Amino acid sequence: MQNLSSMFSNGLLHQLLTLLLFASLSALPVLAKERHRGYHPIHISLTTVDYNAKSNALEIACKIFADDLETVVNRTSNTTLKLGSDKEHKDANALIFAYIKQHFRMDINGKSITTMTMLGKEMEVEATWMYIEIPLAGLGVVKKVNLTNTFLSDLYDDQTNLVNFNIAGKRKSAVFRKGKESSVVEFE
């Protein structure tokens, strides 16, 4: 059997402690969920907006905590979604998309975007990814985006919405909060 000093000198103790720390941290979301269903101290959404030259469209992926998304859509639609369960509402995607269209509005090159398609959603343990496409036919090269993002700001005063753009190789970001719901991003 190795003594403690030889274990430490050959890195075995460090590896063991790292493994224990990782296992402990991995269990925290499960424990928190058992005590406070869906509890999380941070209120944030993440959205990526990527230009696809082949389809001449913007591909948008929005990641929102699933419990928050369900709460706000349940309130606004007066229904119960039960996301990710075998009892999920049959119109869950349509109800979520209606919420997205109301709280994520975009003008491109000064033209209001009215055509948007929800391609679907994916559930993770704590979050929901929604996938949206905006065709750019007739809009030309994207030079300027005026975006309003109010996801969950009707639910939390401290809600932060981060949007990362990747358009024609140019990367930009915008942060939205209560009081700063709109931003102009230029790609010239």
Mean pLDDT of 66-80: 94
- DSSP structural state of residue 39: -
In terms of domains, do 121 and 174 share one? yes
Task: Band the pLDDT of 188: cuts 50, 70, 90.
Answer: confident
In terms of domains, do 12 and 93 share one? no
CA-atom Rg of the chain in angstroms: 21
Q: Using CA atoms of 76, 80, 81, 87 in order, give the dihedral in degrees to the nearest 10.
A: -170
Residue 101 CA to residue 62 CA, distance in Å, equals 12
- DSSP structural state of residue 180: B
In terms of domains, do 95 and 114 share one? yes
Task: Band the pLDDT of 10: cuts 50, 70, 90.
Answer: very low
Give the residues across from 146 on adjacent strands: 107, 184
In terms of domains, do 29 and 51 share one? no
In terms of domains, do 27 and 49 share one? no
Mean pLDDT of 1-15: 46
Residue 126 CA to residue 67 CA, distance in Å, equals 7
In terms of domains, do 73 and 121 share one? yes
Q: Cα 45 vs. chain centroid, distance in angstroms?
A: 4
User: How, if at all, do strands 160-167 and 44-52 pair?
Assistant: parallel
In terms of domains, do 109 and 181 share one? yes
In terms of domains, do 72 and 126 share one? yes
- Total of domains in the chain: 2
| Cα–Cα distances in angstroms (integers) from residue 157 to residues 87, 139, 160, in the given order | 31, 35, 9
Percent of the chain with pLDDT over 90: 74
Mean pLDDT of 80-101: 95
In terms of domains, do 22 and 83 share one? no
In terms of domains, do 13 and 83 share one? no
Q: Is the pLDDT of residue 9 over 80?
A: no
In terms of domains, do 21 and 92 share one? no
Residue-number span of the structural domain to which 71 is assigned: 44-186
Q: Is the pLDDT of residue 26 over 80?
A: no
In terms of domains, do 8 and 50 share one? no
21-35, 48-62, 143-157, 168-182: least confidently modelled range: 21-35
**Bigger pLDDT: 108 vs 39:** 108
Residue 3 CA to residue 5 CA, distance in Å, equals 6
pLDDT at 113: 95
Task: Band the pLDDT of 76: cuts 50, 70, 90.
Answer: very high
Q: What are the strands of the beta sheet with 111-112, ordered from one edge?
A: 111-112, 104-108, 144-149, 182-186
- What pTM, to 2 d.p., does this model score? 0.78
